[in-house]
Structure 1
């Protein structure tokens, strides 16, 4: 009994991950015994697990605690990012139900893979050494490769899974090589140990290690120049899977990136700041210009996600508490905008057939005025037009960059925002000024829930911003 009492305090910080891990094992056994008859139960079970883990995360104190021999850290930053990851994963299950039933690919493995992916993402957000980071990353990635190719009878879906796997393996190798260089020149994989070993003194080996680590994490964020997989994988994957890739894994990738650079390399900011500035500028530029010619909404959202990662990285480039606060606020708002946009996209079904091009939105305001209003709000917000939430997300990261004397970076961000506004507003123009087509089918209940909550965040953020801003401020403060 004494041994159990001694172990319990060390396990309490990892309780959300344990709940998901034990629960998913139960779901796997139930699904294996019941077969396809278990689909509905496993979906509900997975959703309950994610919601339960969310409440456990939210109820944690937020005080900085390390466990598992210092490799796992829980603080306000991990708390906020894990909450976002869990919300994104739960929303994916809600978004997927109607789609998978109609496409006749409704299998119990999908929610199980989402939960496994979520465990990996939560480990990434709390990793306090390079080994824990890599383990979390691979657990998330292996499940993601499978769900990209989940529609196995569809050639595009299979191709998406294969591309993601091959390029993902390459990026994992780069991250691992960079980690081994850092370990070789510091003698430790622990983030606090790396800080002590460097002590403002970084040789060429450490610089190379940081470059390779940056390349690995840039791939996971789909940041330029490691974005090449994103448009094809987004377009080929089943649409709920695309919504998932654009939401929860983005939260985890940004959390991992912030954790690595702020946690392990705070004393050599001048080295990695140049890399982050370049990646941010390249991502914003390509995301804004490449999306202009896209007719597929999924490919447009892929380039939009690349551009949005660039804006979030402006806050990281500032390397300050204000900058990280801006990153967290931006990711909260980005999650709401993305899930809302995909909820509308998944409702574009007519005669049992999905529609995914910009032209399919023609006259949506006259056939589905509420749907058109919600999507227009998402597009205006993504474009950064006040008083919607997207404007404030960009405002916080631009303000942090200016305060950190990165005025040029902020100016480039504003210019690319103006360019990006073109393709966001084009969707609004098509919905409100083009001739209407036949109306679409009624939205499924899961889509309504996700769209309603997302729209509330995007439209009403300016009225009550303090809860989210305070949470982001506490998250940033815990890293400094």
Structure 2
């Protein structure tokens, strides 16, 4: 039953309303009190994200629709909204040191993260093409500004500009695809498109190509990945951590929802696109990372590869595939946040170090940090029994059940190639001559690392809760 019949049309959007109003109030607080409120606003922003998460979880069970079907709250939306909120909250916790620097007291940073998260939540619940575009732009506009938030740094401003120009191009492609789909089906609602697009009309297929091209840019999948390494390297490290976690959740969510709910009748047409993008992303992510010297650039290529692996599940077009995508993205967020907690802790005499060679001999100067990073890298490589292995297991099994054997084999082979560059970092940490000791790690970084690292190591002991929630979320799409 829908809330509209019960007379509460705004109840499904309550978390989004609370987040929007809260962000506006914090903006007013910052505007009146000045830059001295940066720490307070960051703390309140984390609290606001936690409150929003509680509201998402406390919405009544089942599927609820409002705004004439353009906003959907189901198990799929709940799962991914909570994941996006966790990613954003962890990013704000990780960025506390970056924001405490007197030269960079920018209270707007936390508010931009909140507004971007609001866009992600709208995107995850989008039930038609107009809501999809609104969510996407709300998320992206804040991200463009955040990428260039370190205004005194030429690399950071360049990163923001590159991201903005290419992002505008991708939005144009997405809009063109949406207009073609509307023109050939006569509706913008996903359910209406599903009813009208059963024949695989050439115009609809062209529309899908442009729509998926715009979405590929947001998940940084090949061939729309070109911005990723430069923006990851140029943006401040906490911003890179944000780019690598929460926005990926929202973009993959809408990728999954659009393909499975708007085009269920023409799976073979969009499946070809997803298979190509998936193979290209896995291959580029594995091979291009081998020669990297900067850890943030390496993480950029790693994230391109991981989006390729996640799309393996989507390519199968089944419930198991959707479940695989959800488990993959949840584990990926944990691995990424843990890795970036360590990258942010890499400081000598107050100066951040970003080269892979700077990890030399870390196992002797800081054995616990080296152990956690090694576990996260093994997990990113997909080595059992760590969480990353199960993430890949679920998507490959879904692909095999759907008969996509070539895709699964290429996925396994590129995983092996990808393992090489993760293992080369471990070799630097454990076998190279040690460099001077790092500065002590801050409490907030330690907290994020402990949660992400322990989840990663002990996931195999009790995977049940995540798997069952992901299964229920995937089923709600079909």
TM-score (norm 2): 0.98
1:191 corresponds to 2:190: yes
Inter-partner Cα distance in structure 2 for 1:429 and 1:66: 52
1:123 corresponds to 2:122: yes
1:106 corresponds to 2:118: no
Aligned-residue Cα RMSD (Å) equals 1.3
Inter-partner Cα distance in structure 2 for 1:427 and 1:91: 24
> Are 2:372 and 2:453, in contact at CA under 8 Å, matched by a contact in 1?
yes
- Per the TM alignment, residue 150 of structure 1 is displaced from its structure 2 partner at its CA by 0.2
> Are 1:175 and 1:214, in contact at CA under 8 Å, matched by a contact in 2?
yes
Partner of 2:411: 413
Deviations 1:286-344 (A, max 9, x none): 00000000010000000000000000000000000000000000001000000000000
Inter-partner Cα distance in structure 2 for 1:102 and 1:286: 37
> Are 1:62 and 1:74, in contact at CA under 8 Å, matched by a contact in 2?
no
> Are 2:323 and 2:470, in contact at CA under 8 Å, matched by a contact in 1?
yes
**Which consecutive unaligned segments of at least 5 residues does structure 1 have?**
none
The correspondence for 1:386, drawn from 384, 387, 391, is 384
Partner of 1:58: 57
- Per the TM alignment, residue 61 of structure 1 is displaced from its structure 2 partner at its CA by 3.4
Inter-partner Cα distance in structure 2 for 1:393 and 1:304: 15
Partner of 1:173: 172
> Are 1:292 and 1:422, in contact at CA under 8 Å, matched by a contact in 2?
yes
Partner of 2:442: 444
- Per the TM alignment, residue 55 of structure 1 is displaced from its structure 2 partner at its CA by 1.2
Partner of 1:320: 318
SS of equivalent to 2:9: helix
Partner of 2:47: 48
> Are 2:38 and 2:99, in contact at CA under 8 Å, matched by a contact in 1?
no
Partner of 2:462: 464
The correspondence for 2:297, drawn from 296, 299, 306, is 299
Inter-partner Cα distance in structure 1 for 2:84 and 2:97: 22
1:17 corresponds to 2:16: yes
> Are 1:62 and 1:79, in contact at CA under 8 Å, matched by a contact in 2?
no
> Are 2:313 and 2:399, in contact at CA under 8 Å, matched by a contact in 1?
yes
Deviations 1:211-239 (A, max 9, x none): 00010000000000000000000000000
Inter-partner Cα distance in structure 2 for 1:74 and 1:183: 23
Inter-partner Cα distance in structure 2 for 1:103 and 1:453: 29
Partner of 2:473: 475
Partner of 1:256: 254
- Per the TM alignment, residue 176 of structure 1 is displaced from its structure 2 partner at its CA by 0.3
Deviations 1:162-204 (A, max 9, x none): 0000000000000000000000011110000111112x21211
Inter-partner Cα distance in structure 2 for 1:62 and 1:241: 34
1:290 corresponds to 2:288: yes
Partner of 1:148: 147
- Per the TM alignment, residue 7 of structure 1 is displaced from its structure 2 partner at its CA by 8.9
Question: Structure 1 residues 266, 6: closer, same or farther in 2, change over 3 A?
Answer: closer
Partner of 1:212: 210
**Which consecutive unaligned segments of at least 5 residues does structure 2 have?**
none
Partner of 1:401: 399
Question: Structure 1 residues 145, 8: closer, same or farther in 2, change over 3 A?
Answer: farther
- Per the TM alignment, residue 155 of structure 1 is displaced from its structure 2 partner at its CA by 0.2
The correspondence for 1:374, drawn from 369, 372, 380, is 372
Inter-partner Cα distance in structure 1 for 2:93 and 2:269: 42
> Are 1:102 and 1:352, in contact at CA under 8 Å, matched by a contact in 2?
no
Q: Runs in 1 of length 4+ with deviation above 4 angstroms? A: 5-8
Question: Structure 1 residues 49, 101: closer, same or farther in 2, change over 3 A?
Answer: same
Inter-partner Cα distance in structure 2 for 1:158 and 1:424: 29
1:273 corresponds to 2:271: yes
Inter-partner Cα distance in structure 2 for 1:54 and 1:316: 26
SS of equivalent to 2:72: strand
